[in-house]
């Protein structure tokens, strides 16, 4: 974020824009911002504000830091897709085709990856973010590992990382283990596990009690695996790893 050498004379400020997003999360355009500002500034002032400022994940973390207990909470990753059906891929910055779990297909839009931290008091705040830029050549998984490394460097000390199955690839799990972090992640039904040495089966083939079972996740190590029915009555599998347990 830029540092001001003298008081700003800009009519549209961060306070205006933040209040606008909180009040109208589905109408983020500059024209609408100018309308609800009651004539305090034109939409060009809002556009200049967005072009002028360059807020980073570190700026977001510093806003959240004083409000959170930084040790012992849960760090969660998720991505959100803002549909942009009428924008041209390759001509509009950040617009591309991304997988939409809601629609079950690739959708044209802007993809935002967010880290959300829940502290031991139950307070939940975002602490880092990335906009996926295909021109940068980094996957969402690579961005996830970068973002986790950053918040750890900034002083966050989560006990657990949670994620859906998109982020449960072997490279991510080994990365979290190397960082000394526990995790609770979704597993696709075809992930390979073993109850007995050299006898590997897809996780969907396991007989699992409600309390779960400790098994060996291929190429990773021992995890506890659970099976549940979600709100749509679909079967979901989850793997839990606790670095404090000797079996893990």
pLDDT for 76-96, tens place per residue? 999 998 888 778 777 778 888
The model's pTM: 0.84
Report pLDDT digits (tens) over 170-216.
Answer: 999 999 999 999 999 999 999 999 998 888 999 999 999 989 999 99
28 phi, psi to nearest 5 deg: -95, 15
Of 48, 23, 53, 50, give the one whose Cα is nearest residue 36.
23
Report pLDDT digits (tens) over 103-150.
Answer: 778 889 889 999 999 999 999 999 999 999 988 999 999 999 999 999
- Nearest-angstrom CA–CA distance, 131 and 142: 12
Q: What is the pLDDT of residue 25?
A: 66
- Here the tokens at position 66 are 């004083």
Burial of 161 (0-12, 13-18, 19+ CB in 10 A): buried
53: Cβ–Cβ under 8 A, 6 or more apart, which residues? Answer: 1, 2, 14
């Amino acid at each position: 974020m830029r540092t001001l050498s003298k008081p700003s004379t800009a009519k549209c400020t961060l306070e205006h824009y933040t209040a606008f997003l909180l009040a109208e999360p589905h109408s983020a355009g500059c024209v609408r911002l100018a309308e609800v500002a009651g004539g305090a500034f034109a939409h060009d002032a809002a556009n200049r504000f967005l072009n002028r400022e360059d807020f980073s994940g570190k700026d977001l973390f510093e806003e959240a830091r004083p409000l959170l207990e930084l040790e012992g909470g849960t760090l969660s990753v998720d991505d959100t897709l803002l549909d942009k059906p009428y924008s041209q891929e390759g001509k509009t910055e950040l617009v591309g085709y991304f997988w939409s779990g809601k629609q079950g297909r690739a959708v044209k839009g802007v993809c935002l990856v967010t880290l959300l931290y829940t502290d031991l008091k139950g307070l939940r705040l975002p602490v880092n973010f990335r906009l996926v830029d295909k021109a940068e050549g980094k996957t969402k998984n690579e961005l996830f590992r970068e973002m986790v490394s950053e918040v750890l460097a900034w002083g966050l000390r989560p006990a657990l990382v949670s994620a859906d199955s998109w982020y449960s690839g072997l490279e991510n799990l080994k990365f979290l283990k190397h960082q000394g972090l526990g995790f609770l992640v979704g597993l696709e039904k075809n992930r390979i596990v073993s109850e007995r040495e050299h006898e590997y089966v897809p996780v969907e083939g396991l007989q699992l009690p409600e309390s779960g079972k400790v098994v060996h996740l291929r190429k990773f190590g021992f995890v506890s695996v659970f099976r549940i029915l979600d709100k749509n009555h679909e079967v979901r599998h989850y793997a839990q790893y606790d670095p404090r347990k000797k079996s893990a």
